[in-house]
Chain A
Amino acid sequence: MAEESSMAAAELLRQAELLKQGAEARLYRAVFLGRPAVVKQRFPKRYRHPVLDERLTHRRTVQEVRSILRCRKAGISAPVVYFVDYTSHCIFLEEIVGSVTVRDHIASTQETHPNPERELEPLADGMGQILARMHDEDVIHGDLTTSNMLLRSGASDLVLIDFGLSYISALPEDKGVDLYVLEKAFLSTHPNTEALFDKLLKSYAAASKKSPAVIKKLDEVRLRGRKRSMVG
């Protein structure tokens, strides 16, 4: 059964259109039982030892599916998982049709809008809220960047994607690091957005029941970054 389905998956991918080569997977456009779908395939990374590669790839496929389901159960927007093939490490996901990444949306708003800051404020609010709800479910995303959040076409609904590095934890430290990773990715990708990110954090703090401990940890992690010795 597993072998059959994985053969079927391989066959499908041969005909599918390559949508994107992401940070660690290839995404193909496909149709699953008549619905628009994307297939996320974690192909073998030949630079790393096969034992390590198999271990990481398997764990990430499992984690991605698990965290998406956990989010969706809690009403947090993430793509529907249609089907998983653990042999070829493929996940069949609902395609968020006509979506753009938050990264591209911010970049184009910054280029075209006279007052991008104001224009993007509602988005920053929305990001803070969805992340607060995710953390309240004890889901640590593990790879928060603006490339891993989608905006539905024409709408302001956010969809969280790319949960391969995610895990479950209730620790404020883990949530604080999650926000720290986002902060650095956000500020380095989108210059001059300090105020916008601040807005995001404020909305996070207002929306999450457990935010004071998390924000305190975020401050600690930032400080640790600044105090690190840089010899050699």
Chain B
Amino acid sequence: MWREPVTIALAALRSHKLRSFLTLFGIIISVFTLIGVMSIIEGLNAYIAEKVANFGTNVFYVTRYPIITNAKDWLEAQRRNPKMTVEDMEYLQERMTLAEYVGAQDWREKDVRAGKESIDDVGIRGTTPTMVHISTEKVAAGRYIAESDYERRAMVAFVGTEVTERLFPTVDPLGKTIYIDGLPFEIVGVAERVGSVLGQTQDNFVFIPLTTLNKIWGEGPAFDTGPWIGIKCSSPDVMAQAMDEARTLMRARRRQKYDDKDAFGLIASESLTNLWDQIFGGIAAVAVGVVSVFLVVGGIVIMNIMLASVTERTREIGIRKSLGARRRDILLQFLVEASVLSTVGGLVGVLAALGATALVVATTPVPMRTPLGAVILSLAVSTAVGLFFGIYPAQKAARLDPVIALRAE
């Protein structure tokens, strides 16, 4: 009872390859999109989780801008929020009671050279000594930027492994001199390897004292954000209170009125997660929309093909009825056929999506991971679409009058 309609559907698919492909295009595209989007979301989830882990525990940042997702807020914030300064950091350091450490970091991109080797556009991060407790880079050899370096505006550097491996592949980099923008800095420490995220190495950095950075390159153009102020709390329990304290202090310092918006940003790993949830929601909504439209289109095409098939095979239906097929036998036959068609479409879509995902992962840094659930869901959905859109043609077939059907052609 099952085998026959399945065989008929598969034989029909095989004998009209191009037509079948076109028929199933809607389903194929929907499943492709569904799996693609779910793979991207899954991959990004992993990426975000890693990013959040890199943020440092019990750490938040006070910055010029909060996380902004639209242009209007951006323009307003640009007018309202002054650039952050080292004085802001000192102000918070003096007054905050709930902060264990307060630090700041600002950055430029400069070329770094040693001997004949040079690296373009390395992240040069001017930092306070306290940042060693706040950000996640750890010392592997030598030392971090020290208090005395900071006060003396010393020409010293704490560097990432990407820098040492490229500039000093064979010798111990400690004590060696690198030239940043042509100016000599002594390497006093090397960081532990961080690894790469999204195919981008995270070890291509040079830390120098923030005071040195400001002395050499000034405070940067007005549109710059200025330094990020990092604040670390002793425990997660006081995070919320500490953020409130920082907000109150900064509002006082900015002389803000009760109902003014904050003229600065407060960013915790939570805000990253929230941002991600927003993006995620956006992607998911668009994907659901696109996939639904394609599925409906795909379903309608299948319905049309099945209607044509019913017309084409009216006589066959009459013959079957004359031999004792009941309505439900005919109904089942065409329903099975429609769902076999759409399931094959789903399978093709799954294979195409798996192929594309593998290709993307191999050739680009975009993180993608196909969850098994996505594959199962897609196949279930495509079978369901075939069943649903097969109902009308199948009913039409089942209701045919045997005498009229036998006379067809």
A, B assembled together: no
Which A residues are closer than 8 A to B by beta carbons? none
Which B residues are closer than 8 A to A by beta carbons? none
